[in-house]
Amino acid sequence: MARLVMKFGGTSVAGMDRIRNAARHVKREVDAGAQVAVVVSAMAGKTDELVALCRDASPHFDRREYDSVVASGEQVTAGLLAIALQSIGVAARSWQGWQIPILTTQTPGAARISGIDGERIVANLVARNEVAVIAGFQGLSKGTGRVTTLGRGGSDTSAVAVAAAIKADRCDIYTDVDGIYTTDPRVVPKARRLDRVAYEEMLEMASLGAKVMQVRSVELAMLKKVKTVVRSSFENPDSPRSGTLICDEEDIVEQQVVTGIAFSRDEAQITLRRVADRPGVAAAIFSPLAEAGINVDMIVQVASDDTVTTDITFTVGSGDFDRAKAILEKTKAQIGYAALQGAGGVAKVSAIGIGMRSHSGVAAIAFQALSEKGINIRAITTSEIKISVLIDTAYTELAVRTLHAIYGLDEA
Ligand code: ADP
Ligand code: ASP
Ligand code: MG
């Protein structure tokens, strides 16, 4: 008997009609004989609304209370979907994170799943013969005994973690697009749907801005080898299409050099001028930022010709920009630099593909194409399977479309 996890995102449960439609997808699988655990998000926009209420209550709100407020969105949709299932003759029961329990670390607003008793869920599925509808995004901190949430987009991670815990044959992520595309189809209408994408590529795409799956969920799927499919909940539940399978690279027959283009507009650039060129200076800059929980990316160090000083440039998320600058100004004496320059309004555009490992000249093609469009590159980083360029935000769409075309990804 197949065992499945079916996850429905915010737009897929945005109102009662959508919830009823999701219920029909679940019924199809149950009728086909599968054991099903469902994971739901809050209704689209609900979590934003709850976050705004917390901010309204106090700009310096207690993060533990934030968790208890924002976790409520998923409680509602879990219950409503269970009712919708029952009303079409499918036995179902809703479960909140603490009832499973989905155990997590303590960090409010950004907890990580530390354990799920899969056998207990399975025993329940078998003994009761009913669909378990689990509230995504939320868990229970073992340390504090309080409700926690997993960070925005965290229901994806709940779903993959449950799938791993119950050894599901597949984890289906139902969303508002019918799979993973070569880039965000809302920005580039010529984007193509991929039949398959490798875990590593999906991980890069998610980390570099494609918000279709939470980064942590892809990490977990890769680590636990969860067969994950991204597919649409909007199509007719009686004639579903296959979506995109996230799988091992060995399972991809026709490998392109570049598989996809990702972008993130929420970046800021910081440059430290004339930093003392001595051992320990990078640690002096980046350790305090790390301690403050600020993620740093695209670090570029310029070798200066006098070898006494150097320039260091890096990016942070725009939400961390002011905090990062304040920390660096406070530690100016310890670091030893002449000037700090910061620029908001920058975007990171990346080309990703495991085929890059065995092809040279991939980056040069991008640089040439961008220069022909008059787009200035502020910083570059590369890894084995990706190239990222930092540009002015105003050129984001043009850059994404240009790279999408030059790497042969446009739909014919
Ligand atoms: P859900 O509410 O179901 O979790 P999300 O909004 O989190 O849905 O993710 C789906 C969205 O991700 C799509 O509507 C699409 O605009 C966006 N997206 C970004 N990059 C991609 C991509 N490469 N392929 C498909 N969708 C993408
Ligand atoms: N509802 C949560 C959010 O909007 C979790 C999720 O949808 O995955 O971030
Ligand atoms: Mg999402």
The last residue of a domain, from among 250, 275, 298: 250
CATH of the domain at 231: 3.40.1160.10
Domain of residue 111: give its range.
Answer: 3-250
In a domain, 183, yes or no: yes
The last residue of a domain, from among 223, 250, 277: 250
CATH of the domain at 267: 3.30.2130.10
Q: Count how many domains the chain has.
A: 2
Instruction: Measure the CA–CA gap between 220 and 207, rounded to whole angstroms.
Output: 13
Whether residue 224 sits in one domain with residue 96: yes
Does ligand 1 lie within 6 Å of residue 233's CB atom?
Answer: no
Whether residue 284 sits in one domain with residue 215: no
* Residue to mutate, 13, 67, 74, 137, ligand 2, most ligand atoms under 8 Å from C-beta: 137
Find, among 113, 348, 293, the residue nearest to 217 by Cα: 113
Angle at 220 between CA 201 and CA 142, to 5 degrees: 155
Average pLDDT score, the chain: 95
CA distances from 317 to 195, 270, 306, 320, 332 (A): 31, 11, 32, 5, 21
Whether residue 186 sits in one domain with residue 68: yes
Whether residue 221 sits in one domain with residue 335: no
Whether residue 221 sits in one domain with residue 114: yes
Nearest CA to ligand 2 atom 8: 153
The last residue of a domain, from among 216, 250, 284: 250
Whether residue 266 sits in one domain with residue 239: no
pTM: 0.93
Whether residue 364 sits in one domain with residue 242: no
Ligand nearest to the CA of 173: 1
- State the sign of the Cα–Cα–Cα–Cα dihedral 169, 78, 66, 144: negative
Tokens of 310: 């150097």
pLDDT band at 306 (very low <50, low <70, confident <90, very high): low
In a domain, 291, yes or no: yes
Rg (CA), the chain: 23
Whether residue 141 sits in one domain with residue 48: yes
In a domain, 256, yes or no: no
pLDDT tens profile 246-295:
999 999 987 789 999 999 998 999 999 999 888 899 999 999 999 998 99
pLDDT tens profile 313-338:
999 999 999 999 999 999 999 999 99
* Ligand 1 centroid, distance to 179 Cα (angstroms): 9
Q: Are 6 and 34 in contact (CB under 8 A)?
A: no
Does ligand 2 lie within 6 Å of residue 154's CB atom?
Answer: yes
**Residues lining ligand 3 (ion), CB within 5 A?**
9, 153
pLDDT tens profile 39-55:
999 999 999 999 999 99
How many CA atoms within 13 Å lie on the side-chain side of 76?
A: 16
CA distances from 396 to 305, 314, 315 (A): 33, 19, 16
